[in-house]
Amino acid sequence: MVEAVPIRVPLADPVADNRSLAQDLTLAAAGVLATGPYILGPSVRAFEQAFAHWLGGYDAVGTASGTDALVLALLGAGVGPGDEVIAPAHTAGPTVAAIRIIGALPVLVDIDPATFCLGPDQVAAALGPRVKAVVAVHLYGRPAPIVALADLCQRHRLALIEDCAQAAGATVDGRRVGSFGTAGCFSFYPTKNLGGVGDGGCVVSTDAEFLERVRSLRTYGWSRPQYAEYAGGRCSRLDELQAAMLAVKLPLLDAWNDRRRSVAERYLEAFHRLPLRLPESGAGERSVYHLFVVRSDRRDALEQFLREHGIGSGRHYPWPIHHQPGLAAGARIPQPLTVTEQISREILSLPLYYAITDDQVETVISIVGRFFDS
Ligand SMILES: Cc1ncc(COP(=O)(O)O)c(C=O)c1O
């Protein structure tokens, strides 16, 4: 039997991230337990307002997950069955699952090799009469070219939904992503830059009427109690416990993102002589390095070497969307997905999280270096 190698540095470690806050998080949870109400009480509302203020948006609506934030934002923007929504073929599955959940059809387009995100040229080439919206994903924490995408969507009267699940705090010319489009959708999955102790998400927008629809849609489509005004309503609320704990963490998010950036800078400095393609940043952009993704044509061997030395790594994502039958059926694919195909064979995510220690970072650097020396 092959003995499992003990993990020295995991890919992510939300328990370690939360350790220094354990007392405050416990108190926040105990407060909810003691006072209630347990659904849509004061903690959710306070967190929504704090998050919207932090983002520079008008308001926010807390949802049960990041996937549901996308679902509700698409529905709130008037996208429905049979409409087309442009999305990247290289993204987390839930970006496209959300489009399918509401009966809309994805139009899958290639990514820009520099940003790993949708580019305006790819979107422009995919437009058609049934397209109602574009979902731009700020992948790995790096902003998509959102100013150009917003301009294109405005000219073509399309809703622009920003999938900010991986990019809470990323900025373009000092402005946070999630504030450029019709709506910004966030996930508070535990490993995200702002992570809960369970699932959660939210939709942010400056459009009060749109947010009112989203608010109704997360509670059965009700515009008043027991009166369903909007079709497609569901039960998808951020819960009080998560909201109370997220409110403890939100004031720390910018500092936590700074720590991620300084780890990323150390990796960039240490790896720049190795035969690896490293993440880049564009002018005016600040990534929050949700993931630190390198590219190598020896990816599989590097992955195995890291595993054998107790270093966690990940493939984000191993299967492009158009290779997953549960997501791809009926999708329109207007152009070859060349970049998506190529990078899915080369990408590897290295350990990066708020609480990673300097020693752990140096361990990762030394083991990656040994792989290329050998
Ligand atoms: C880019 C992206 N979009 C959407 C989601 C969905 O978020 P959640 O897991 O909270 O539903 C995720 C998280 O996995 C993600 O990384």
62 lines ligand 1 (CB under 6 A): no
pLDDT value of residue 307: 97
- Over the stretch 350-359, which tens digit does the pLDDT of each residue have? 999 999 999 9
91 lines ligand 1 (CB under 6 A): yes
- Over the stretch 165-198, which tens digit does the pLDDT of each residue have? 999 999 999 999 999 999 999 999 999 999 999 9
Average pLDDT over residues 83-95: 98
- Over the stretch 205-247, which tens digit does the pLDDT of each residue have? 999 999 999 999 999 999 999 999 999 999 999 999 999 999 9
At residue 30, does pLDDT exceed 70?
Answer: yes
Q: How far is the CA of 231 from the centre of ligand 1 (A)?
A: 24
Average pLDDT over residues 346-366: 98
94 lines ligand 1 (CB under 6 A): yes
What is the DSSP annotation of 101-161?
HTT-EEEEEPPPTTTSS--HHHHHTT--TTEEEEEEE-GGGPPPSHHHHHHHHHHTT-EEE
Q: How far is the CA of 69 from the centre of ligand 1 (A)?
A: 9
Are the C-beta atoms of residues 14 and 353 closer than 8 Å to each other?
A: yes
- Over the stretch 109-162, which tens digit does the pLDDT of each residue have? 999 988 999 989 999 999 999 999 999 999 999 999 999 999 999 999 999 999
Residue 120 CA to residue 172 CA, distance in Å, equals 16
Residue 5 CA to residue 234 CA, distance in Å, equals 44
Percent of the chain surpassing pLDDT 90? 96
Q: How confident is the model at residue 332 (pLDDT cuts 50, 70, 90)?
A: very high
pLDDT value of residue 57: 77
pLDDT value of residue 1: 58
Mutate to test the pocket of ligand 1, among 63, 65, 67 (most ligand atoms within 8 A of CB): 67
Q: How far is CA 194 from CA 15, 21, 256, in A?
A: 13, 13, 9
At residue 58, does pLDDT exceed 90?
Answer: no
At residue 285, does pLDDT exceed 90?
Answer: yes
Average pLDDT over residues 10-14: 98
Average pLDDT over residues 294-316: 98
pLDDT value of residue 2: 60
Q: What is the mean pLDDT of the chain?
A: 97
